[in-house]
A and B are shown apart, each in its own frame.
Chain A
Amino acid sequence: MDHRSPLERVLRALALTAIVVFFMFPIFWIVLMSLQTNETILRSPPSMSFVPTLKNYAAIISGELDSNAGSMSIHFMNNLLNSVLLSVFSVALALLLGVPAAYAFARHKFRGSEDIAFTLLSFRFAPPLLVLLPLTLYFQALGLANTYLGLVWVYQLICLPLILWIVRGYFEDISPDIEHAYRIAGHGWFATFRKIALPLAGPGIAAAGLLAFIFAWNNFIFALVLASADKQPVTVGALAFVTASGIQYGQIAAAIVMSIAPTLLLALWAQRYLVEGLSLGAVKG
């Protein structure tokens, strides 16, 4: 099967290594930084030899930030929890609304369906800053400002179009004959949606959910404007590390590692769903 010469294989391995190193180096460096004190980080020239310390992680988890100017308290763990809450509920709500909507757009060409789908996509065209001012005013009037509900709602601007458009494509890829066959076998439309369309679009739904989760997790501007300290996610909370007395690189690095860990783990877990091509061999092309 493998017709490649040894030289070709070595070159290929080298190229792959180079690419991996190029993309992974910043993350690798941040992990190293998170295990050092500010002094060793700021050494010149930089060196790889240091005594690893978990002080940064301890400080972040306990919320006691020690700097040369004295100690201050931050709520990073609270921010992390906010990020988890906001992302999970936003994606859950977007899946709940977006997947059935995507199915409707994929299968039922009703009047104006394309226009509605496009309008939903257009939510992503406008720069967030443009909608933020009116949104803030409305939210204050409605009492939604600085509430989880309000934030989850606003996050739908990010998650819903993404899920809708990705999942719609997956639904469209399922041969309508498969669904017709299930209907003709005597099952109602809802059973067909649940037993045929959902499982077959599963990988797509997982991919869209994961992407939406990452976008929601990384969102900065909505939370910055619409949430106060106790509702802020990590993206906004990280601002606290820039203090008057200097920037705590080690602690920032530790915070970054802790804030990318959940998305990374989620991506690794979802990977098996992403690669599973279920539709293969179902119909004869």
Chain B
Amino acid sequence: MSHIKLKNLVKRFKDTEVLSGIDLDVPEGSTLVLFGPSGAGKTVLLRCIAGAVEQDDGEVRIGGEDVTDVLPEHRGIGMAFQNFALFPHMDAFDNIASPLTACGKTADQIRAGVDTVARLLKIDHVLTHTPKALSNGQKQRTALARALVSHPKVLLLDDPLRNVDAKLRFEMRLELPRLLADQGATVIYVTQDYREAMALGDRIAVLDGGRIIQNGTPEEIYRRPATINIAKLFGDPTINLLDVVPQSDASGVYATLSDCRIQLDPGLSGNVGRECMLGLRPEALSFTTANEGVPVTIEAETPFNEKAVTLVTTLRKREILVSRPAETPAPASGTAHITIDPRDAVLFDRQTGVRLDPNGTSHAAEKAA
């Protein structure tokens, strides 16, 4: 009974509309990642669901029930704040215990509950410390423990890994999915980190400018981003974007790059002659030893442990990033050729930034319908 449904949610601060008509559906027990740049309205949206902020229009339904008029303390939600929001005058134990004291548990039940969750999150040795004496990682775990301790049916996690160091963030990214699955709660997880989003979400909703611009599985968001902006936000190194004008002949629709044909999906024939951007993931490109493919000049290479990223330029000095698994051979300098897997190419309208769908309709148009 913890299905979250938002209908046309609107929130204004003074005259600025921070959320303009959010519709969202999070099935019971699933995890939705709310992804977006800062200022997109992610935190406000979470607060509306928690009841800390009152929406101006629309409704929030939890478990099928409209909770618009339900006070935050009666919504049965666990929430972890980005800034932790620990109670500075209470020790870690009392912080974690606060949801339990509210529902009138006995001292023994409270102790047992806090101990269990503290052991789970490996903070059982610092329960007597005040927040001031905790490290950032411990604060973050304490805040998480406080959200989890009463086994809420709905968990709202507002970028809980934002303020912890890289090592801990990586560990938590691995631990969290299991932890959330064990809870069996419906989770909305806010983040600005696309890796976190891909790792944790059953679905990802991309929020920008107070609107959801795409809502899909991590795979969909990565493979078929709705806009150029989303394509840029997901993936490291970032997607290559090249100005092209699709053309067609007897053999199908194609774009040209350095006089080479890149075959496009025949469904894109409606966009022939339109000013477009071709999006190519760096890992969809590969070097070839044969003398076919796009001729490029190698400019620089950045080796990472697991992959190597090469910056190349085309004949017309357009820069392209190519990513390949480490230890695969590649020409170190001079001229080379790259091949492109056309299935990985995505086409965007250059004017609107919206992805052009091979089925003839753009994603945005689909959504509006």
Q: Which residues of A contact B (CB under 8 A)?
A: 175-178, 180-189, 191, 196, 199-200, 278-285
Contact B98 A185 (CB under 8 A): yes
* B150 interface residue per 8 A CB criterion: yes
Most-contacted residue by chain B among A196, A279, A281 (CB, 10 A): A281
Whether A184 pairs with B79 at a CB distance below 8 angstroms is yes
Do B103 and A283 touch (CB < 8 A)?
Answer: no
B 47-72 to A, binary, CB cutoff 8 A, 1 in contact else 0: 10011100000000000000000011
- Residues of B with C-beta under 8 A to A280: 88, 132
User: In whole angstroms, what is the CA distance A183 to B87 when docked?
Assistant: 12
Give complex CA distance A93, B134 in Å: 39
How far, in Å, is A273 (CB) from chain B's closest CB? Answer: 13
Supply 9 A–B pairs (Cβ within 8 Å), ascending by A.
A177-B81, A180-B72, A180-B79, A181-B87, A182-B98, A281-B131, A281-B132, A282-B88, A282-B132
Is the CB of B89 closer than 8 A to any CB of chain A?
A: yes
Q: A282-B131, A284-B163 are in contact. Are A184 and B75 (CB under 8 A)?
A: yes
B359 in the interface (beta carbon within 8 A): no
- A187 partner residues in chain B, CB cutoff 8 A: 73, 98, 102
Query: Count the B residues whose beta carbon is within 8 Å of the partner chain — how many?
Result: 34
Does B146 touch A at the CB level, under 8 Å? yes
Contacts of A177 in B (CB 8 A): 81, 83, 85
Task: Determine whether the beta carbon of B85 is less than 8 Å from that of A185.
Answer: no
5 A-B pairs closest in CB distance: A186-B102, A282-B88, A281-B132, A177-B85, A180-B52
Residues of B within 8 A of A (CB): 47, 50-52, 71-75, 77-79, 81, 83-89, 98-99, 102-103, 130-134, 136, 139, 146, 150, 163
Chain A CB count within 10 A is highest, among B50, B52, B73, B139, for: B73
Are A281 and B88 within 8 A (Cβ)? yes
CA of A167 to CA of B271, assembled, Å: 64
Minimum Cβ distance to chain A for residue B165 (Å)? 12
> Contact at A182–B52, with CB atoms within 8 Å?
no
A283 in complex: contacting residue of B47, B77, B83, CB < 8 Å: B83
Known: A180-B85, A283-B86, A284-B139. A185 touches B146 (CB 8 A): yes
Alpha-carbon gap, A182 to B102, bound state (A): 9
- Cβ contacts under 8 Å, A278 to chain B: 88-89
Smallest CB gap from A176: residue in B: B52
How far does the alpha carbon of A284 sit from the alpha carbon of B77 in the complex, in Å?
Answer: 23
